[in-house]
Amino acid sequence: MEFVIISGLSGAGKSKAASFMEDTGFYVVDNMPAALIPKFAELCMASPGKYERVTLVTDIRGGQTFDGLFEALDALHSMGCQYKILFVEATTETIIKRYKETRRIHPLLRPGETLADAVSQERKDLEPVRRRAEYIIDTSALSTSKLRGEVIRLFGGDSAVPAMSVNVISFGFKYGIPLEADLVFDVRFLPNPYYIAELRHQTGLDKPVSDFVFGYQETRDFMTHLENLIGFLLPKYVEEGKTMLVIGIGCTGGQHRSVAITKALADFIQQKGYQATDNHRDMTRA
């Protein structure tokens, strides 16, 4: 079992880091009290195969909780639970700026103290945790996408599959464009199998319809351009931090042309090494 504890300064980005851990396949629990960590670890260890990768986010706020974390870590060691600590930090100036932007109150801020005082005290209290951390991420100069990339680099494992899934949806314009679509392509300009009597009641998943659609040079030219565009965009979206991309392919009724193109595009995306699924919203509505 891979067991990662995320700690660090308030406002440094612990919760964001945890959400990106979830993208890499971790089961994430946010804001877990230190006293509950050993019991939760025991539960995970007693359920092999169910909790293979676990991340806990815990805050250290004051001496009692601080001591509690080290007691929890000692208990994990005694149980034989191998864990690692990810410590998330940022400069005092960066944290102050973030708190001003969000208008939140720092959890250690006391009457008569400045925000800088609270950050400084928390940094001092957490120094022993930082020293024990296997991984330290300073988010001061990291954009959200770069933080995600760093988390994936550290915890993404050996999988070569990019941490973004793609859903390609066929649809009929007569029924409306899918609201969840990030990209929409109109293929109503392609030759329509609907007007071929023996193809009318088949779908784009049937070989005769697919052969008809791709039997035209304009379809093959379109697919070449579409594949070049999507092949260019996919790594850009991954770099930007996108975890789900929805591509809509529409024809008039969503039964023939869009279905055939959607299936071909999803196959192409899978061949590029991405997780891709094809769904056909309106295929059976006609």
**Residues of the binding site:** 8-15, 59-62
Q: How far apart are CA 98 and CA 162, in angstroms?
A: 30
Helix crossing, 63-79 with 37-45: angle to 10°? 20
Question: Which residues line the annotated binding site for ATP?
Answer: 8-15
- 18 in Cβ contact with 27 (< 8 Å): no
Q: Which residues contact 200 (CB under 8 A, 6 or more apart)?
A: 193, 194
Give the contacts of 23 (CB within 8 A, at least 6 positions apart): 148, 152, 163, 243
DSSP class of residue 175 equals G
Stretch (H or E) spanning 283 = none
Binding-site residues for GTP sit at 59-62
Contact 106, 115 (CB under 8 A): yes
**Summary count for the chain: helices (H), strands (E):** 9, 9
Do 97 and 110 touch, CB atoms closer than 8 A?
Answer: no
Within 8 A by CB and 6+ apart from 81, the residues are: 1, 3, 41, 45
- Give yes or no for a contact between 166 and 247, defined as CB atoms under 8 angstroms apart: yes
| CA–CA gap between residue 156 and residue 21 (Å, rounded) | 8
According to DSSP, residue 264 is labeled H
Q: What angle do CA 214, 215, 220 make, to 5 degrees?
A: 50
